[in-house]
């Protein structure tokens, strides 16, 4: 073999060895990534695993249910455990918490960078609980101000002709929302020939006596009107279906 051929062979050998080492390194890294994925609370990383992710209503807490594929329902008993766990974690109002329910029903919770194994719902976490069910004075004031703002806007709309087209206002027929009896809804209304919610009757009045345009359920004006009408009947006993 000539010196040139030996040099070429040596270069190819080093190249192949480097490629093999790189492939091994990638495999090891992937294995490590899999291990990280198992520990992580990122739902996207769990798509490849037999796990289903369930979020709390605040989208800050989640439970990774191992042994259940993302496309299949959780068995009833485990589903109840997941719901109980999410309700428990809602004690920590603004915190982002990840819990994992193992196939052996053991619970692991990750919060503020700390991992707590064998967690029992109701148990302690190194987080100050929110005043869940026991609001502070400051919280009460904030909530009251927000409600008052909405009710005040509803009051204005109720006494204005801007949601109609003929100059009639809701208050002209129902001063201070008297006679609307929101506490009796839902109930069957002959005008609509069906069971109606309060907002259905509000829209019926807007469309007919006021000759206006129907408001969507999530329209800020509808929300304000409902808030005002309900506030005017505060303290009344709920009598669903009463005529």
pLDDT in tens, 59-87: 999 999 999 999 999 999 999 999 999 99
The confidence score (pLDDT) of residue 35 equals 43
pLDDT for residue 148 is more than 70: yes
Domains of the chain: 43-116 (no CATH), 137-232 (1.10.760.10)
The confidence score (pLDDT) of residue 211 equals 96
pLDDT for residue 208 is more than 70: yes
pLDDT in tens, 45-61: 444 457 999 999 999 99
The residues, any chain, with a CB within 8 Å of residue 91's CB and separated by 6 or more, are 129, 130, 132
The confidence score (pLDDT) of residue 95 equals 87
Which band of pLDDT confidence, cut at 50, 70 and 90, is reported for residue 159?
very high
The residues, any chain, with a CB within 8 Å of residue 41's CB and separated by 6 or more, are 62, 64, 98, 100, 110
Tokens, residue 89:
């974690």
Which band of pLDDT confidence, cut at 50, 70 and 90, is reported for residue 186?
very high
What pTM was computed for the model? 0.58
Nearest to 69 by CA among 50, 47, 96: 50
* DSSP state, residue 174: S
> Is 224:153 a contact under the CB 8 Å cutoff?
yes
Question: With 0-12 CB in 10 A as exposed, 13-18 as middle and 19+ as buried, what is 207?
Answer: middle
pLDDT for residue 146 is more than 70: yes
The confidence score (pLDDT) of residue 12 equals 45
pLDDT for residue 26 is more than 60: no
């Amino acid at each position: 073999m000539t010196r040139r051929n030996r040099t070429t062979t040596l270069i190819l050998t080093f190249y192949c060895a480097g490629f093999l080492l790189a492939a091994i390194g990638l495999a090891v890294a992937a294995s490590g990534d899999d291990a990280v994925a198992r520990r992580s609370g990122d739902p996207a990383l769990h798509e490849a695993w037999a796990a289903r992710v369930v979020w709390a209503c605040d989208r800050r807490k989640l439970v990774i249910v191992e042994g259940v594929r993302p496309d299949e329902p959780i068995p009833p008993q485990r589903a109840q455990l997941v719901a109980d766990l999410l309700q428990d974690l809602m004690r920590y109002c603004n915190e982002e918490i990840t819990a994992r329910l193992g196939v052996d029903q053991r619970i692991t919770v990750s919060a503020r960078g700390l991992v707590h194994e064998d967690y029992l719902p109701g148990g302690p976490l190194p987080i100050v609980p929110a005043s869940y069910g026991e609001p502070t004075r400051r919280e009460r004031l904030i909530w009251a101000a927000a409600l008052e703002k909405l009710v005040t806007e509803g009051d204005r709309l109720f006494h204005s002709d801007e949601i109609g087209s003929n100059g009639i206002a809701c208050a002209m027929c129902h001063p201070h929302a008297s006679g609307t009896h929101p506490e009796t809804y839902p109930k069957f209304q002959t005008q609509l020939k069906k069971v109606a919610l309060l907002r259905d009757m509000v829209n019926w009045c807007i469309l007919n006596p006021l000759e206006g345009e129907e408001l969507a359920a999530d329209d800020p004006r509808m929300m304000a009107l409902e808030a005002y009408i309900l506030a005017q009947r505060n303290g009344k006993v709920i009598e669903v279906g009463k005529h």
